[in-house]
Amino acid sequence: MRTLMISGASRGIGRAIARKALADGHRLSLGLRDLNSLKGSVLDPEVAGKHRVMLHSYFAEDSLGAQSWVDATVDYFGSFDSLICSAGIFSRVSVLFSQGEEEEIERTMKINLMAPWILARAAWPQLVHHGSGRIQMLVSLSGKESKGKLAAYSASKFALLGLCQTMRNEGWNDGIRVTAICPGWVNTDMAHSVLAEPSEFWPTQSLKPEEMTQPEDIADISSALLKLDNRAVPFEVSVNSSLGW
């Protein structure tokens, strides 16, 4: 059994990962913008059991919130050994951004890159102490190949993948294993919002929801990664539901 900190667990991929981790017997500390978003669900501590799940307010834009969440998790469970960063935002800002869009670029970088960086930094001592700590970062295939004109989003994800590589280097001798999970189209609200507005910024797609990778598929991958011995944890997992994604 592991004790996991998971961001972005209120919906989509993060929520699916949390549900699967709970079913696997792990203890969960979930960082959420809205603490009521899981009320009545299987991830509600009143349903799952307060000894299994704790909820804590976490806003990715708040650089001080990471340490507060880490401290609260240690106080509640005594320790933790794994961090899964699923929170992120999408942006359509292109290379030729309009005046005033600088703020969106900065926010995209802050949430998609700096927030998981700051959270991992805060969690690092616990991961080192465990001796077999795990970090899973939800990146994207947009962090490996830029398609269309989504400059801000792709830049944030390319940077996150580079950060993951360096985290892997720095944590290796302390037993920390880092995996960058890079999915293409996943059946989430974010994907639907992109596909609902085809434009010059993104190639036209015709994927149906059932043809996309499902959040539960990513959860199964996350689950399998947590079961692997340190000698067998892959750094990168690319997940593609179509030939050209």
CA 81/CA 95 separation, integer angstroms: 39
pLDDT per residue over 167-210, tens digit each? 999 999 999 999 999 999 888 877 666 666 655 555 556 778 88
Number of Cβ within 10 Å of residue 67's Cβ equals 14
Domain 3-239: give its CATH code: 3.40.50.720
Task: Name the average pLDDT for the chain.
Answer: 92
- What pLDDT does residue 93 have? 92
For 136, the token pair is 């899973």
Domain map (residue ranges) of the chain = 3-239
- What pLDDT does residue 245 have? 61
- What pLDDT does residue 203 have? 55
**Distance (Å) of CA 14 to CA 20, 129, 217:** 10, 25, 12
CA-closest candidate to residue 87, choices 114, 124, 64, 54 = 114
- What pLDDT does residue 82 have? 98
Report whether pLDDT(60) > 70: yes
Give the mean pLDDT of 63-81: 96
Which of 77, 153, 158, 245 is catalytic? The answer is 153
Judge whether 153 counts as a catalytic residue. Answer: yes
pLDDT per residue over 117-164, tens digit each? 999 999 999 999 999 999 999 999 999 998 888 999 999 999 999 999
Residue type, 239: V
Q: What is the pTM of this model?
A: 0.93
